Amino acid sequence: MTMQVISVPSTPFSGQKPGTSGLRKKVTVFRQARYLENFVQAIFDTLSGQQGQTLVLGGDGRYYNDVAIQTILRMAAATGFGRVLVGRNGILSTPAASAVIRKWQAFGGIILSASHNSGGPDGDFGIKYNLGNGGPANESFTDAVYLRTQEIRAYDTVESPDIDLSKVGETCIGDMVVSIIDPVADYAELLESLFDFDRIARLLARPDFRMRFDAMHAVTGPYALEILENRLGAPPGTVVNCIPLPDFAGGHPDPNPVYAADLVAALADSRSGLSFGAASDGDGDRNMIVGRNFVVSPSDSLAVLAANHALVPAYASGLAGVARSMPTSCAVDRVAEALGIPCYETPTGWKYFGSLLDAGRCTLCGEESAGTGSNHVREKDGLWAVLYWLNILAVRDLPADVIVREHWRRFGRNVYSRHDYEGIEIAQGDRLMNDLRARLSQLPGSEYGGLRIATADDFAYVDPVDGSRSERQGIRILLDDGSRAVFRLSGTGTEGATLRVYLERFIADPGQHEIPTQEALAPLVGLADAVARIAAITGRKVPNVIS
């Protein structure tokens, strides 16, 4: 039954510019009349050829997810999509959405998430569009969407009651079929095809191996239960905080030592009997890996996964290449060199890995911001990283901390930390970056506390596959001894600005590898503050999050 399309007059909202990963704003901003509709219409106007095609739709279940899904379904019918695949109850983790888009060769997908940001009525909400390859839309697409939001005059919808999303099955809005799918099945099947599940199951059955997976009341709960407990036979209770809640139980679903402190503490307490811990974030694409009294840094994790690829069925035949975002430590570069494969350095944001993966130039990629993934989907993938680690642990029969320490002995240690100054004023953040940019050419040769700057630049990237250029992707200061300090403003926050300072120092001597990270980086911290005048401009003497 063809339905009448209703064109609802609207006017533009300012600031609908997608950041590092889609549009993220406070729920209170998204709840304004026409706000979500304008942005969705801008996406649909930027697309062409969607008529009769399939769209994938789902989110991390945060507050407003259910309302937004009903709105988008009506608008998808109005723009002429032939079918929408929706995760049951509106749930799809980000990597699962990517897997579903690819498996069913959908035209694209809309993912509703603000990732690791807090949820609830006063928390954050977000929306992003993924292309038919399953990956986040590239910068030219998101720029075009933003332009469209500034000139929008109406959005199109149809009149139709809300769809019951709680049961798997098919229903219709006019001519458009709404297929409600099991959000876990396609994804679990894909992961099972990549790893040695028999071997992992044997590890999980061992009385001397106990793991805990903390789903942080976010979307990975059902995925982790199905894969770890049901398919791999981990003891009940292995997955904790496994019921996704719209406000993440008031927590912050960001798997780092600050927000997953309980997990880190449990692994540090020998009485817990735990040997391995892991966690994932709001939408299931980030991961944290914890050994006994040892948190694996995301940059090291990527390097260890690459170095051990031969142990994992899907990657045993070799890696085409690896890729990391520019601020991510150079640990994986050393592995790539040893393997004789290329290592690509991209700007921050998973969208930059898509063309490399599509072109078969790299197999694994990762970022310092707790994301690792491979060519199996086009998003970073939290549970994938956990299974990859379990596969390595099962084959090598060594604890995670020993594996990392051995890695350092072989490749050297890239000591690494990120210092965040959250909630500074936007004007302060802009001033700091602009001042620094203006002084870049004067920095080489200057010294701070015995450290000498060799080069300084503003990172620009030319995609080797499609030739597209991205400018101003972070200021890099490289020292004579190979140490680095990198400065960026976050593109995912919703309040004020966040200055990120990424610090890295290479230590080859194994006798020095146990030096505490912050101690090793202290001189570099002093240099970063002096060069960028952080305290002088922001008034902040210390960062508020160190990871």
Please count the other Cβ atoms lying within 10 Å of the Cβ belonging to residue 441. Answer: 9
- Residue 79 CB, shortest distance to ligand G16, in Å, is 26
DSSP letter assigned to residue 133: T
Query: What is the chain's Cα-based Rg?
Result: 23
The nearest distance, CB 195 to ligand G16, in angstroms, is 22
Q: Which stretch binds ligand G16 (CB under 6 A): 77-85, 168-176, 183-191, 364-372?
A: 364-372
The verdict on 490 binding ligand G16 (CB under 6 A) reads yes
Q: Does 367 bind ligand G16 (CB under 6 A)?
A: yes
| Contact yes or no for 298/281 (Cβ under 8 A) | no
Cβ–Cβ under 8 Å, residues 127 and 57: no
Out of 251, 349, 366, 382, the residue judged to bind ligand G16 by CB under 6 A: 349
x/- letters, 438..477, toward ligand G16 (CB under 6 A): ----------------------------------------
Binding flag, residue 324, ligand G16 (CB under 6 A) = no
Site string for ligand G16, 277-296 (x = CB under 6 A): --------xx----------
Quote the distance between the C-alpha of residue 20 and its chain's center: 10
Interacting residue with ligand G16 among 82, 412, 444, 491 (CB under 6 A): 491
Give the separation between CA 225 and CA 232, rounded to whole angstroms: 10
The region of 104-112, 159-167, 229-237, 343-351 touching ligand G16 under the rule CB under 6 A is 343-351
Output the smallest distance, CB 520 to ligand G16, in A.
23
Q: Which of 437, 547, 544, 546 is nearest to 497 (CA)?
A: 544
Per DSSP, the three-state class of 4 is coil
Considering only residues 493-512, where is the footprint of ligand G16 by CB under 6 A?
500
Locate 110 and state its tokens. Answer: 């809309």
Site stretch for ligand G16 (CB under 6 A), options 240-248, 310-318, 346-354, 388-396? 346-354
Residues ≥6 apart with Cβ < 8 Å to 285: 93, 94, 95, 115, 350, 371, 373, 379, 380, 381, 382
Kindly identify the residues of this chain, within the stretch 510-539, that bind ligand G16 according to CB under 6 A: none
Q: Which two tokens stand for residue 443?
A: 């920095």
Residue holding tokens 């600005």? 497
Taking each helix axis from N to C end, the angle separating 382-396 and 400-411, rounded to the nearest 10 degrees, works out to 80
Q: Which of 116, 148, 376, 405 binds ligand G16 (CB under 6 A)?
A: 116
# of chain residues touching ligand G16 (CB under 6 A): 16
DSSP string, 166-235: TSSEEEEETTEEEEEE-TTHHHHHHHHHHS-HHHHHHHHH-TT--EEEE-TTSTHHHHHIIIIIIIT-PP
CB of 21 to ligand G16, least distance (A): 4
Q: Supply the minimum distance, in Å, between the C-beta of residue 62 and ligand G16.
A: 13
Comparing CB distances to ligand G16, the nearer of 409 and 472 is 472
Q: What whole-number distance in Å separates Cα of residue 368 and Cα of residue 503?
A: 11
Scan for tokens 């809309």, then name that residue: 110
Q: Which is nearer to ligand G16, 225 or 501 (CB)?
A: 501
483 in active site? no
Locus of tokens 């739709």:
57
Per-position x/- string for 75-114, each x denoting binding to ligand G16 as judged by CB under 6 A, each - no binding: ----------------------------------------
Q: Whose Cβ is closer to ligand G16: residue 64's or residue 350's?
A: 350
417 binds ligand G16 (CB under 6 A): no
Catalytic residue (one of 113, 115, 301, 355): 115
Q: Tokens standing for 243?
A: 């019921």
In the DSSP assignment, the letter for residue 237 is: T
Q: Which of 107, 213, 350, 459 binds ligand G16 (CB under 6 A)?
A: 350
State the nearest-atom distance from the C-beta of 221 to ligand G16, in Å: 17
Residue in 98, 275, 297, 369 binding ligand G16, rule: CB under 6 A: 369
Three-class SS state of 388:
helix
Q: How far is the CB of 327 from ligand G16 (least distance, A)?
A: 8
Q: What are phi and psi of 96, to 5 degrees?
A: -70, -40
Residues lying near ligand G16 in the complex (CB under 6 A): 20-21, 115-116, 285-286, 348-350, 367, 369, 371, 490-492, 500
Active site residues: 115
